[in-house]
Amino acid sequence: MNAIDFTSAGPLAAPFTDGQRDGVLRYQQCTACGGAQTLARYACQHCGERGTLHWRDAQGSATVRAVTVVARAPSDAFRALAPYTLVIVQLAEGPRLMGHASTGVRIGDQVQAGFFAHEGCTLLRFAPAP
């Protein structure tokens, strides 16, 4: 396996994956309760309402909540990146998500979302905020 295929996420996640390709981080927000979520869903994870989720563009600013360094890549596609840092961040808009990060980021750091190309795909990477 040489390529990473993120297109299998389907049409529900298309606004998120298309946004990454265009350099925009997106999340879903519920018009019923105001809850925000990063995983594409048909119903709000906070209130359960269906049909109330709309895609919004995130500012990209976030706070690091967890950090790990991956020394052994899970597949050939990521072997060239190892070792690499993965983080869970909380976006300024509220929801959390995982992405790559610059080496040396720590829990509590303020970071800014960016993107990088790898194996024909655009991946999320957080770097220290200016």
Positions of the chain with pLDDT under 50: 1-8
- Residue 9: predicted pLDDT: 56
Question: In this structure, are residues 28 and 54 in contact, taking their beta carbons and an 8 Å threshold?
Answer: yes
- Residue 91: predicted pLDDT: 97
- Residue 21: predicted pLDDT: 86
- Residue 93: predicted pLDDT: 96
Query: Rounded to whole angstroms, how far apart are CA atoms 77 and 119?
Result: 7
**Sequence ranges of the domains in the chain:** 11-128
Query: Rounded to whole angstroms, how far apart are CA atoms 119 and 6?
Result: 11
Give CA separation, 43 vs 6, 9, 24, 128, in Å.
22, 17, 23, 33
Query: Rounded to whole angstroms, how far apart are CA atoms 5 and 54?
Result: 25
Question: In this structure, are residues 107 and 68 in contact, taking their beta carbons and an 8 Å threshold?
Answer: no
